[in-house]
Copies of this chain bind each other. A is one copy, B any other.
Amino acid sequence: MSNEKEKMVTAITSMEDDFAKWYTDIVKKADLIDYSSVRGCMILRPYGYAIWELIQQQLDARFKASGHENVYMPMFIPESLLQKEKEHVEGFAPEVAWVTHGGEEKLTERLCVRPTSETLFCEHYANIIHSYRDLPKLYNQWCSVVRWEKTTRPFLRSLEFLWQEGHTVHATAKEAEEETISQLNEYADFCEKVLAMPVIKGQKTEKEKFAGAKQTYTIESLMHDGKALQSGTSHNFGDSFAKAFGIQYTDKDNTLKYVHETSWGVSTRLIGGLIMVHSDNNGLVLPPKVAPIQAIIIPIMPKKEGVLEKAEEIKAILSKICRVRLDNTDKSPGWKYSEYEMKGVPLRIELGPRDIEKGQAILVRRDTREKTIINLSEIGEEVLKLLEKIQTELLEKARKHRDTKTSTAKSMEEFKEILKTNQGFIKAMWCENEECENTIKEETGATARCMPFEQENISDVCVCCGKPAKKMIIWGKAY
């Protein structure tokens, strides 16, 4: 058994040795993805896709509960349509894939594969919105999008990725702003309660906001290596797209008004976040709420009379309350332990002839490896209790980690020192001048992650230029 354990340990690079290698080892060895012959596009394997399905189902239920409806738009955008909103096309045109031929025929107008679907939604909205009675429209779409990135990494940045994009239309600026914030809050709540991933909510600077947006809000999370991950964004477009696309409605007072729009999205990138927030040198660690297998039953000496029967019996009981599997293959228990540790299964249930004699089983937590001996007659309650406990404690642990990696800087020297000694989030004051933002980025490699909603007064002056400060920024090196 020890032999096999060693084998697994050498099979994965430790995160202290090479964080990037550790990450790609996990995505491959936990069977989340495979590479294909298409540069920068990944294959989501059954185990990886099952995590996405759990994310999708739970988010979709939240969206529907708040009155959003799903639609499906074409995957192609004609070049002229993409160009209708000026800032938007400037932001996206350099990174789209162009379809120039259909069958044998050269197209008269190029089509891009959607990098995001604002323009298609706007064209549709202009068709279907006429009166205040048609508002609001709260639409969402689950699909894949393409962005022609130069360097790619599984889940974090790929040429094609799966996501959802919400696109809503409102009568007033106030309603649009409320929707933008309310969806950001939904994302933050989902990340904390479901993914056990603490996030900071804030507003993007002018420099970092989405192409075409009036305001972009973001949730930012911190990875094991002290780098930040933008985990979801919510944009308020005001009426700029409405003006570009002519989306107007007749209000109650019989005057024509422009609508106000929002969009918001999260993607398979969340899975990259999950990995880098919770996992360890034995492989993936998954919060129970997004674990395709929540408990794995491993029979010890399964050939002994009664062991497999008892294991099946327990599986039948547990399958009513959680996602459980029984591994009755002929591999050794030690091999199975490593295998399911690698796959991040939250709970392992060990069951051998002596346990059965004593009417007990051993539960082992993936995250802490803590063992509990429980009474078989109470296995349902015990498993549920432990799954809940793991879910809660993973969030606490991630929050603590983030807090120890969050520092404040009052000078550029301090700023740079922190990046060397305790890379993570850096809180620092800013004068709101883009020049300072650029200088900090050039000198340190950190970018303004956001102006957090929870502002603090760390100092009265900008960390860069020393002029009066207006905002506290959270800085970090980002994925």
By a beta-carbon cutoff of 8 Å, the part of chain A in contact with chain B is 34, 36-38, 41-46, 49-50, 52-53, 69-78, 81, 94-105, 110-111, 113, 120, 123-124, 127-128, 139, 143-144, 146, 148, 159-160, 162
Contact = CB atoms under 8 A, between A and B. Distances in A.
A69 B46 contact: yes
20 contacts: A34-B124, A36-B74, A37-B78, A37-B81, A38-B74, A45-B71, A46-B69, A46-B70, A49-B72, A50-B69, A72-B144, A75-B113, A76-B159, A96-B103, A98-B99, A99-B99, A99-B100, A103-B148, A113-B113, A143-B144
A160 B74 contact: yes
A68 to B, nearest CB: 9
A46 B71 contact: yes
Contacts of A75: 41, 75, 113, 144, 146, 160
Given A111-B38, A123-B37, A124-B34, A72 B99 contact: no
A162 B162 CA distance: 15
B72 A139 contact: no
B113 A74 contact: no
Most buried by B among A72, A101, A146, A160: A72
A476 to B, nearest CB: 27
A50 B77 contact: no
A32 to B, nearest CB: 11
A172 B113 CA distance: 40
A453 to B, nearest CB: 32
Nearest to A95: B103
- What is the oligomeric copy number? 2
Most buried by B among A38, A70, A139: A38
A111 B38 CA distance: 8
Nearest to A31: B128
A45 B141 CA distance: 10
A308 to B, nearest CB: 19
A112 to B, nearest CB: 9
A162 B72 contact: yes
Given A34-B127, A99-B99, A42 B74 contact: yes
A78 B38 contact: yes
Given A71-B43, A72-B43, A160-B76, A102 B97 contact: yes
A120 to B, nearest CB: 6
B36 A73 contact: yes
Nearest first, the 10 A-B pairs at minimum CB distance are A41-B74, A46-B69, A102-B148, A44-B72, A98-B101, A103-B148, A38-B74, A100-B100, A97-B99, A38-B76
A309 B323 CA distance: 41
